[in-house]
């Protein structure tokens, strides 16, 4: 049976179509979810896409965190539902307290858009099990508020528990502490990543096919998950 992966659309979402296409290329059925509806339509996993939800008013992700769909996603994620937050989706996950820390204004105060090398550090998550530890991938990054920050105790805990999923290599595009590009929760089912794997799934439009592994990982995880 084909896995069904929900892709949420908020007002101001930019990359929901790209995320849905990546899900389809990976071999799953994309299911479009609307921010104002709490029903997840029986999906097996969820992607929170990049963009500028609710115009980034107050703080990036601060309003989206209270959308009806997020109330259901938060409960489902705590129950084990795989959730991937990309860029703005990462910001929403932090605002919803599914992930620690926050994403703040880039240290250099400029929007950064470039192809970025990442090193995959954690391969035990629902979204990275298709990679090898230490594998380097090339994925676009595009953000103005992508600087990951947390207090020292939280950063040390993420390191100690192996929850830093990916780090920037060859230059930090936004000033994120400890070069952190992606993190996960303790259970490994929720991952937030600032770069955009959905933009690296096709040779025609991406700098590589490296982003596809995030989506095929979810399918692999679902196949191995208990019924």
The reported pTM is: 0.96
The per-residue pLDDT for range 16-70, each reduced to its tens digit, is: 999 999 999 999 999 999 999 999 999 999 999 999 998 887 788 889 999 999 9
CB atoms within 10 A of CB 20: 22
pLDDT of residue 141: 97
CA angle (135 as vertex; 218, 215 as ends), nearest 5: 15
The domains located in the chain, with CATH, are 4-224 (3.40.50.880)
Which H helix or E strand runs over 222? Answer: helix 212-224
Place 107 in a pLDDT band, splitting at 50, 70 and 90: confident
Mean per-residue pLDDT of the chain: 95
d(CA 20, CA 49): 9
- Name the nearest CA neighbour of 8 among 128, 89, 91: 89
CA distance 124 to 13: 29
Provide the annotated active-site residues.
87, 196, 198
How much is the pLDDT for 227?
45
């Amino acid at each position: 049976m084909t896995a069904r992966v929900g892709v949420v659309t908020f007002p101001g979402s930019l990359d929901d179509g790209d995320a849905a296409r990546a899900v389809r290329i990976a071999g799953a059925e994309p299911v479009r979810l609307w921010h104002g509806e709490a029903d997840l339509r029986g999906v097996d996993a969820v992607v929170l896409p990049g963009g500028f939800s609710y115009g980034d008013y107050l703080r990036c992700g601060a309003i989206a965190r209270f959308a009806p769909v997020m109330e259901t996603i938060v409960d489902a994620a705590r129950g084990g539902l795989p959730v991937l937050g990309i860029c703005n989706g990462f910001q929403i996950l932090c605002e919803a307290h599914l992930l620690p820390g926050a994403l703040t204004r880039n240290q250099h105060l400029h929007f950064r858009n470039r192809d970025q090398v990442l090193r995959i550090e954690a391969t035990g998550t629902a979204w990275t099990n298709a990679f090898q530890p230490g594998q380097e991938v090339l994925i676009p990054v595009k953000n103005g508020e992508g600087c990951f920050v947390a207090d020292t105790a939280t950063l040390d805990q993420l390191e100690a528990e192996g929850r830093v999923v990916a780090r920037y290599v060859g230059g930090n595009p936004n000033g994120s502490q400890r070069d952190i590009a992606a993190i996960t929760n303790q259970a490994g089912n929720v991952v937030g990543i600032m770069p955009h794997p959905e933009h690296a799934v096709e040779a025609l439009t991406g700098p590589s096919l490296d982003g596809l592994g995030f989506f095929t990982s979810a399918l692999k995880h679902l196949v191995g998950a208990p019924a």
